[in-house]
Amino acid sequence: MVSYKRLSPEDVQFSNAVLSEEPGPVHKVVEVKEPDESEHPLLPRRPYCSATRALIVLGCLLLLLCGAWLLATMFWLHSPSSSHHRRPPSPTPALKPTTQGQSGGERAAATTDPQACSLVQEAWRFDCYPEKGVVVTKEMCEARSCCFIQASTSLPPSGKNGVPWCFYPAGFPSYSLVSASHTAMGLTGKLEKEVKTYYPGDILTLQLEVRYETDTRLRVRITDSTQSRFEVPITVPNATEKAASPSYTVELSKDPFGLIVKRTSTGAVLVNTTVAPLFYADQFLQMSSSLPSQYIYGLGEHRSSFLHDIHWNTLTMWARDVPPMELTNLYGVHPFYLAMEEGGSSHGFFLLNSNAMDVALQPAPAITWRTIGGILDFYVFLGPDPASVIGQYQEVIGYPAMPIYWALGYHLCRWGYGSSNVTWDVVRKMRNYGIPQDVQWNDIDYMERFMDFTLDPAAFSTLPDMVKDLHAHQQRYVMILDPGISSTQAEGSYWPYDEGLRRGVFINDSDGNTLIGKVWPGLTAFPDFTDHVTHEWWHDNLKRFHDKVPFDGVWIDMNEPSNFLDGSTKGCPINSLEMPPYTPGVLGGLLRSKTLCASAQQKTSTHYNMHSLYGLMEAKASACALKRILGKRPFVISRSSFPSQGKYSGHWLGDNRSQWKDLYTSISGMLTFNLLGIPLVGADICGFGDQPDEELCIRWTQLGAFYPFSRNHNTLDVKPQDPPSFSPMACTAMKEALLLRYSLFPFLYTLFHHAHTLGHTVARPLVFEFPQDVRTYGIDRQFLLGKGLLVTPVLDPGVDYVVGYFPQGLWYDYYTGDSVLSKGEELKLKAPLDKINLHMREGVVLPTQRPNTTLWVSSGQPLHLVASLSEDGSANGDVFWDDGESIDTYETNEYAHVVFTVVKNTMTSQVLRDHVEASYITVETASFYGVKVKPTSVTVNTLDAPFSYRANQVLTVTDLGLNLGQNFTISWM
């Protein structure tokens, strides 16, 4: 019997031929037949033995085989563990093929023999009793035909899992591959089993589809062969041609069924589902796989380090309104991970499933996907470098939208301004201090009794005038909207609810009546954004309110969706949707906890299936509405998110606190969401909850100046934390940090162009640029913007220095041009309270700009180019430029793109695409870091130009007056 614990891909064999002879990466299924004498005419014939003699001989052979197996197993168990940390344990010495005509479901029952169970290493024990809050006894475990052994390790920390005491034995019933055939895109197969599991609704016959979609993308679908099941309603590519030269091979194990995906170039095993049984019941689908290493990233949204802990770490996914905390399902759901492999290659894995799920990591290393609905529809992305993996992932879910230019400015908000006049006063103070600000926001206190699309007629009566003033100063206004619509107003007095009822836009309970919950305005109904009718109703509401208050963007909050009740005012029915056979480890223990009933009805499907898509669907409706109302790129920031969210909105990291720990964790959150295709992301600068601390707020503003989305926001009943509210010293330090951000706008805007068109990250972990350097794999106290600007913030109180890691190569202090040649080492850097450390990587050209208090003014200022030369004197960079707000400028060729190259003492500007917008911009100065010999002359387009040269090898050329839209050269001798 094949052991799930010891089958390695190298030993996978097949029986009963079902594949054609077509060559390809999929192994053929080889028929196993009884020996035929005619095939071996040279073998001597022996007389037939009696039945007794045959049995005796057979028994002796079996004893010898068993003895050899035990000796081999004992030797393997006592071998050094280090040799097995990146691959499944070795296979059993002999695999017994299924005899012809025998069904895969007729295998022997799983054994729970204590000796056999004890042979399974702790790291490779896959949990057979994953239910939360259950003390598993031996009797309970063995009732599931599983092994029960108390783990030898100490108890895990509170809230974390440990080595499972109840785990699958060798031979636990699973599916068999009973037939397979090649198709135009790959292959299909039929999976069957007869032994039912301990969860109800086993689906005994499954359809397997393996699609070779591109050379670096494999898609696998496992579905019910007899009836359709819920599938996630997002648009993904429909590949029509099979990959010509795939960088992966696929192998199939027949009995038990398993899928093995290898990287062709190295033989590295990326996916191996033979390590544990496959489950496919109506409300319990489970698939496990080995991992090639312990380096796993992604799997949002959770508060953790950037690099996930794989030591019995279960990550639950089910959108939930809860302030960020560890070991808890948070606002968004992203079942995607990126894994590093030995040698620096990487790959990605995406499970396209929106149902509540647990994702369990264990130190084998291995992963288990455990979801309670939908289908198993997953992609493997081959990279091979991390940036390519993320680009390939976004080819499936969609590239992020190009943001409107002012989205990259500084945003200011708080809950508790109390009036539009107080809000206006804050804006005026920012102007008086000369502090950059592009956008002013309001939280729910602008509303009348917290009702959407209303305005407090007393406290916020001057809001329309304030917005006009913002626009007069080329600033913008954003306000919050929650999805809950008040349902208790007198008929005819509240158009959003009355019209919503008339059009039938609200989510219904299982009886077909409008489901009523409770949020800030009291009792509320919830729009069903899966219905196009709702999109039109949402647009009409936004348009009516825009006619009163001409806002420029929307902030959609509470869209998990959040509910102050569990389910509804009437509770929820008792059925399998509300109480499924298995409930993942969601906060509150119930799917309806602080949200809607799982059995609630939406147009597309039940809330059980659609819950974690709510924020995505609302973001899509909001972005589409804003495009129609404003005729410009929409600006939407959403709390809840799902794959493809970046097409419609950005994201902020939720209701954090004014604590140093939150300052640190904001970096991992920002980096993770860049992996997940939502680059417009940031945390509430200075923290949302708790009293703000001046030192913390200075350091946070310095870090927040490098968030892709930079917003300061805090809550009720705490001191204000806008920069002018602090001491003159603190205010000046914050102002300088924000001016620095504004000076980098051309660089940041270009990074977003590459994110929009190529799927690149904006904020980038060091491992992406240095995948060969294992020391970068866990770094989340530093990050890069693009490939070349290293940010090393201070994350601890009371210090005037910071330690940062510098990968091997030449690095330059951004401010001075001083160089350091690193061997791949940590350096102690001076970090006074008014400074954040920035370093340029060698070989980069950064386009910068003279900053001002709004991006409207800044973006018209002359450019200053900064080139950090490599050892051979080379560097390169580019700038993307358009009008900053029109929709689809790249798609309609309404943009300029200029590339800068430095080679052999000459910078060359090449205009790849010209546009009138570029003609408005001049290049005023250029600095070159790392010019080893002082030049005797500098020429610009062959004409002599003034220059300066400093002892730290910095050459600066001034008074250039070059047009960005025209090619130029700068040379020195």
| Residue 106: CB atoms within 10 Å | 13
β-strand partners of 286: 279, 370
Spatial neighbors of 284 by CB under 8 A, at least 6 apart, are 197, 199, 201, 370, 372, 580, 581, 582
Q: Where are the beta strands (DSSP E) in 425-580?
A: 439-442, 476-481, 485-486, 516-519, 522-525, 553-556
Token pair of 168, please?
């699958």
> Is 511 labeled as catalytic in the residue annotation?
no
Would you say 470 and 427 are in contact if contact means Cβ atoms under 8 Å apart? yes
Nearest of 773, 777, 809, 806 to residue 792 by alpha carbon: 806
* Cα-based torsion angle of the residue sequence 347, 620, 550, 461 in order, rounded to the nearest 10 degrees: -100
C-alpha to C-alpha distance for 4 and 255, rounded to whole angstroms:
11
Residue in the structure block whose two tokens are 């970046």: 646
What does DSSP assign to residue 274? G
Question: Which one is catalytic: 560, 769, 878, 924?
Answer: 560
Q: Are 373 and 230 in contact (CB under 8 A)?
A: yes
Residue 165 CB contacts under 8 Å (≥ 6 apart), including other chains: 129, 136, 141, 148, 149, 150, 151
CA separation (Å) from 374 to 370, 377, 606? Answer: 11, 9, 12
Nearest to 871 by CA among 822, 825, 837, 907: 822
Taking alpha carbons only, the member of 393, 343, 6 closest to residue 168 is 6
Q: Exposed, middle or buried, 893 (CB in 10 Å: 0-12/13-18/19+)? A: exposed
Rounded Cα distance, 667 and 857, in Å: 30
- Please provide the DSSP assignment of 496-527 as one string: HHHHHHHHT-BPB-TTSSBPEEEETTEEEE-B
Cα 635–Cα 639–Cα 643 angle in degrees, nearest 5? 85
- Identify which of 709, 706, 721 has the alpha carbon closest to the alpha carbon of residue 657: 721
Which one of 445, 452, 528, 557 is the catalytic residue?
557
DSSP readout, 360-406? EEETTTEEEEEESSS-EEEEEE--SSHHHHHHHHHHHH-PPPPPPGG
Q: What are phi and psi of 873, to 5 degrees?
A: 85, 20
For residue 244, which of 285, 223, 282, 213 has the smallest C-alpha distance? Answer: 213
Structure tokens at 970: 């700068």
Count the neighbouring beta carbons within 10 Å of the beta carbon of residue 309. Answer: 14
Residue 279 is inside which H or E element, if any?
A: strand 279-281
Burial class of residue 126, CB neighbours in 10 A (0-12, 13-18, 19+): buried
Q: Cβ neighbours of residue 65 under 8 Å, at least 6 residues apart? A: 93, 94
Diameter of the chain by CA atoms? 108
Residue 618 annotated as catalytic: no
Angle formed at CA 254 by CA 248 and CA 258, multiple of 5 degrees = 50
Phi, psi of 768 (to 5 degrees): -65, -35
Buried b / exposed e across 580-605, counting CB within 10 Å, b at 16+?
A: bebbbbbbeebbbbbbbbbbbbbbbb
Count Cα atoms within 13 angstroms, Cβ side, for 221.
Answer: 19
Q: Which residue has the tokens 């077509």?
A: 22
Instruction: Give the strands of the sheet with 376-381, arranged side by side.
Output: 176-182, 186-192, 205-214, 217-224, 376-381, 346-351, 334-340, 296-300
Q: Active-site residues: which are they?
A: 557, 560
